[in-house]
Amino acid sequence: MATYLGFCVLVIMLQLATAFPNTLNESACAEISVGFGIYQDICPEAEPIIFSWVQKAVAEDPRMAASLLRLHFHDCFVNGCDASVLLDDTQNFVGEKTAAPNLNSLRGFEVIDSIKSELESVCPQTISCADILATVARDSVVLSGGPTWEIQMGRRDSLSASKEAANNDIPGPNSTVATLVAKFENVGLALNDMVALSGAHTIGKARCPTFSARLQGADQNGLDSNLDFVASLQQLCSGSDSSTAAAHLDLVTPATFDNQYYVNLLSGEGLLPSDQVLVSGDEQTREIVETYAEDPFVFFEDFKISMLKMGDLRVLTESNGEIRKNCRAIN
């Protein structure tokens, strides 16, 4: 990957020109490259193939955009962005799909399967599953009306997975600000990254059990609450199907990637306790929320930067991993 140094020089120059201190670092550039240019000669069809499958999936189910974005999050938070989240359990192997944050929660595996299958038929063992996850996350944001960015490419896929790390390292829906900050810092992301990446909750849904603390109006974290909002959640979650009933994370523009999530937080309409606590639990996070609520451009720029940082977490390159033929299994 060092042969792509030219890309890295360009990235570093852009960093200086735009004065964003929390974006890519020089050491990261030595390992993975920016953009699909590294595949242009060997698999020029790759990016259009990935985009077309994501476009089809989101057209059929708008919620799939959030699901594909979430796959990338849950992958990167467990030992880095290595596609370990995609590995199935076998008789001799325990993956991460049955970990508490993932079981009966993560979706979109079939979309990844379809993408990988077509890529393997066109360019065998060329595009890693980890690179696919990073790309579908970006494409999902774009197709929902959000910003775009150049994907860092060149990741390899892991030869292992960790259910224990998935249980311990992925932030939970009832987390306090202190817990959120600790979980993000554990993987190398800062408080600002945490607030920016929480903005991914501007799309998608969550099931009633994940926000049961919100049904009381306030919980042990002293969350600000909008009484009408709480009443609507209580009604949704009072039926016999309460364990599977789901609410929009952003009830105003549920399928649009925008800054409405932060506006909702200031109105006491954050769905998850870990969302609303960004306003009620810490002055520093509240100030960032207020900035994003006022200026969607600032949110979009910070979100892009934090996505690039997250996508560079503990990546495997060259001989440290493999390019799987099937994303669900080690070769």
- What's the DSSP call for residue 248? E
Q: Residue 232 corresponds to which tokens in the numbers above?
A: 């609507």
Determine the distance from the C-alpha atom of residue 192 to the mean position of all C-alpha atoms in its chain, rounded to a whole number: 15
Let me know if 72 is a catalytic residue.
Answer: no
Q: Which helix (H) or strand (E) holds 232?
A: helix 227-236
Cα(302)–Cα(23) distance, integer angstroms: 9
Give the CA-trace dihedral at 101, 149, 109, 207, to 10 degrees: 40
Cα(111)–Cα(109) distance, integer angstroms: 5
Q: Give the angle subtended at the CA of 128 by the CAs of 257 and 66, to the nearest 5°.
A: 20
Could you give phi then psi for residue 129, rounded to 5 degrees? -65, -35
Q: If we measure between CA atoms, which residue out of 169, 105, 93 comes closest to residue 328?
A: 93
Q: If we measure between CA atoms, which residue out of 147, 157, 123 comes closest to residue 47?
A: 123
Give the CA-trace dihedral at 84, 89, 92, 93, to 10 degrees: 20
Q: If we measure between CA atoms, which residue out of 41, 38, 60 comes closest to residue 151?
A: 38
Q: Residue 227 corresponds to which tokens in the numbers above?
A: 């009484």
Catalytic site positions:
74
